[in-house]
Structure 1
Amino acid sequence: MAELKELQSKEALEQAWERSMEKPVLFFKHSTTCPISAGAFKEYNTYLESAGTDVDAFMVKVIETRELSNQIAEETDVKHESPQIFLIQDKEVLWHTSHSDITTDSINNALQKAESI
């Protein structure tokens, strides 16, 4: 099972980017006040329950840590949405999606495609 870690500092975000040089990293941007985000977060957690340790999993709470959420948007050059998920490898965005497109299956598919690259 992949362990979910909450990012709360710029240093932790930078370390997560660095981890992507070793293995795939998932960033999940979560709004704690949005029911759509709650559903996507449930899908993310369902994926993580079955995932091995071949991926590192992170979460950013967009309201509580707005600065980190904005930094991810800047560094990925992907417009902020919430909920939103990114698959990062070698410090590059391999895949991202948002809202109800965040499902256990979509995350699995993205990682399978990344493994075949």
Structure 2
Amino acid sequence: MTTYTEITTIPEWQNVLQQSKEKPVLVFKHSTTCPVSAAAYKEFTSIATEVDAYLVKVIESRPVSKEIESDLSVQHKSPQILLVSNGESVWNDSHWNITEKNIEKAIEAQ
């Protein structure tokens, strides 16, 4: 099961973005009011990985969500998962495509 750290501030996000320059990180953008996002959250938390994982609640932490969209030039969707390496999104997916299998495949490709 994935353990993750929640990002709630822009400085926390900037630290994660910097960390991605050392090793890839996984960022899951989650809507706490959406059933599709709840299903994706289960997939996200079910993976077993050594990659550091982060969660952003898009409603509660909207400025962080917008900053991620801006910094990575990836249009916001919710739910959305991003694999970030060297300060860039090297893979992202959304909605029903967020599956344990797809996440693990993306991590292995790195």
Assess if the C-alpha contact under 8 Å between 2:3 and 2:45 holds in 1.
Answer: no
CA distance in 1, matches of 2:17, 2:52: 10
Aligned length: 110
Which residue is 1:22 aligned to? 22
Give the 3-state SS of the residue equivalent to 1:51 in structure 2.
coil
Specify which of 67, 71, 93 is matched with residue 97 of structure 1: 93
Match of 1:110 in 2: 106
Q: TM-score, normalised by structure 1?
A: 0.90
Do the aligned residues in 1 keep the contact of 2:2 with 2:46 (CA within 8 Å)?
no
- Aligned pairs for 1:27-106 within 5 A: 27-47=27-47, 50-52=48-50, 55-106=51-102
TM-score of the superposed pair, with normalisation by structure 2: 0.96
Question: Whole-Å Cα distance in 2 between the matches of residues 21 and 96 of structure 1?
Answer: 17
Q: 1:51 Cα deviation (Å)?
A: 1.5
Matching residue's letter, 2:49: A
Q: Which runs of 4+ in 1 moved over 4 A?
A: none
What is the CA-CA distance between 1:22 and the residue it aligns to? 1.5
> Structure 2: where are the runs of 5+ without partners?
none
Percentage identity across paired residues of the two chains: 43
- Structure 1 unaligned segments of length 5 or more: list them: none
SS in structure 1 at match of 2:82:
strand
Per the alignment, residue 10 of structure 1 pairs with 10
